[in-house]
Amino acid sequence: MQIEFSDKLKKIPPYLFIEIDNKKKQAREKGVDVIDLGVGDPDLPTPDHIVEAANKAMRILDNQRYPFGMGLLAFRQAVADWYKKRFNVTLDPATEIVALAGSKEGIYHIHDAFVNPNADVLVPEPGYPVYANGTLLSGGQNYFMPLKKENHFLPDLHAVPHNVAQKAALMFINYPNNPTAACTDKKFFEKAVKFAKQHNIIVCHDAAYSEMYYDGEKPPSFLEVEGAKEVGIEFHSLSKTYCMTGWRIGWACGNAKVIQGLAKVKENVDSGVFQAVQYAGIAALTGDQSCVEDMRKTFQERRDVFVNGLVKLGWKISKPKASFYVWAEVPPRYTSMHCVTVLLEQAGIVATPGIGFGPSGEGYVRFALTQNKKRLNEALQRIEKIKW
């Protein structure tokens, strides 16, 4: 029998990092002490009180059953209370919040709820690959909005052609941004609301890094600006804030009709987030927040060590104000792919080539600060010895 992937699955571009992955494996097999700054996964443990809450909850019979629905009301209430406190935004836990098995899951499924075949989806590039791949799997088309240094890595909404904007169903934005680490203020969000209203586009703001900020400068929520709830939703994740990537929990919140659409897709795909994990989420959001402060302190120290070190070696970087990424310009005459190959072959360091996030990522590499200061110092010493 001949087995063929669907046309839409075939449209998903090959995994661009596969070459790096293979080289990483080969280096390890040869005994190289690889310093992996490639993956955006915190190396710190989930705080104890969160693990304990899940531990208790999973022994309760009710939590061993199908969860169903939009998430425990108690979880959604915890989200609403956290939102009020953090952003002064009021959310109705019954209709404006849905629990997700990680925000990636919701970012993927939102397409199924709102993208018709041949509709456009406005997607930033370089960007998190799920925005664009979700479009392809739902039969829509991506219109890529380049994020350029000269525009502070914000999309130029005026550059979107009128006919594209008119048939666009969704627009993704993401600040603090992965991979560029750029932040934005409410002014850009206001422009996005205006643009969305003008063209009837649902805005999906990915706020996965809203709590991973430095120097005390708190990034705003999209929902803080007037009219935002009329046009869109915001995705949040507990993955980065509480070092819970493996647990698979996040949420989407905002416009009730948009949340309803997303929830309807999910009803037919999964049966909700394991309730013990939702209780862990409640413990995270309502418990002592000093663990988040500690997380920020750890990554801020690492950022200072690594960025100061690279700058001393002549690299061009602006210090990230949020996220755990360093978006560095590659040395002159190098492509991003060539640069990461040299980093791996000469220094045993894994970084991600900017091109892997979209064509405008060419000229950059992304380092994830997911190793301790000692390892980062070791990485700097090795980079210093590279013969470019």
Ligand X SMILES: *Cc1c(COP(=O)(O)O)cnc(C)c1O
**Site residues (CB under 6 A) for ligand X?**
40, 102-104, 128, 174, 178, 206, 208, 237, 239-240, 245, 250
Beta strand 168-174 with 141-146 is unpaired
Burial class (CB in 10 A: 0-12, 13-18, 19+), 59: exposed
Output the furthest CA–CA distance in the chain (Å, rounded): 61
Indicate the residue among 104 and 229 with the shorter CB distance to ligand X.
104
- Provide, rounded to whole angstroms, the least separation between the CB of residue 79 and ligand X: 14
Which of residues 79 and 380 has its CB atom nearest to ligand X in the complex? Answer: 79
Task: Compare residues 291 and 368 and give the one whose CB is closer to ligand X.
Answer: 368
Task: CB nearer to ligand X: give 93 or 179.
Answer: 179
Rounded Cα distance between 102 and 124, Å, is: 21
Q: Give the 3-state secondary structure of 269-302.
A: CCCCCCHHHHHHHHHHHHCCCHHHHHHHHHHHHH
Rounded to 5 degrees, φ, ψ at 263 are -65, -35
Dist CA 364 CA 383 (whole Å): 16
- For the bound state, the minimum distance from the C-beta of residue 126 to ligand X, rounded and expressed in Å, comes to 11
CA distance 117 to 159: 23
- Sequence-ordered alpha helix ranges (H) in the chain: 7-11, 18-29, 48-57, 73-87, 103-114, 129-138, 162-166, 186-199, 228-231, 256-267, 275-286, 290-312, 336-347, 373-384
The tokens describing 153, both together, are 């890595």
Q: How far is the CB of 245 from ligand X (least distance, A)?
A: 5
Cα–Cα distance for residue pair 307/323, rounded to 1 Å: 13
Assess contact for 336 and 353: CB atoms under 8 A.
yes
* Smallest separation (angstroms) from ligand X to the CB of 59: 25
Rounded least distance, CB 172 to ligand X, Å: 10
Nearer to ligand X, 252 or 349 (CB): 252
- Comparing CB distances to ligand X, the nearer of 87 and 235 is 235
Find the shortest distance in angstroms from Cβ 240 to ligand X. Answer: 6
Considering beta carbons, is residue 35 or 173 the nearer one to ligand X? 173
* Minimum CB distance to ligand X smaller for 205 or for 229: 205
CA dihedral 355, 359, 361, 367 (to 10 degrees): -20
Chain-centre distance for alpha carbon 341 = 25
Q: For ligand X, which is the closer residue by CB, 240 or 296?
A: 240
R_g over Cα of the chain: 21
For the CB of residue 333, give the shortest distance to ligand X in the complex, in Å.
30
Neighbours of 297 (CB within 10 A): 11
Shortest CB 103 distance to ligand X, Å: 4
Other C-beta atoms closer than 10 Å to the C-beta of 2 total 3
Burial class of residue 117 in the structure, from the number of CB atoms within 10 Å of its CB (0-12 exposed, 13-18 middle, 19+ buried) = exposed
To the nearest whole angstrom, how small is the minimum distance from the Cβ of residue 287 to ligand X?
19
Closest contact distance (angstroms) between CB of 104 and ligand X is 3
- Nearer CB in complex with ligand X: 165/282: 282
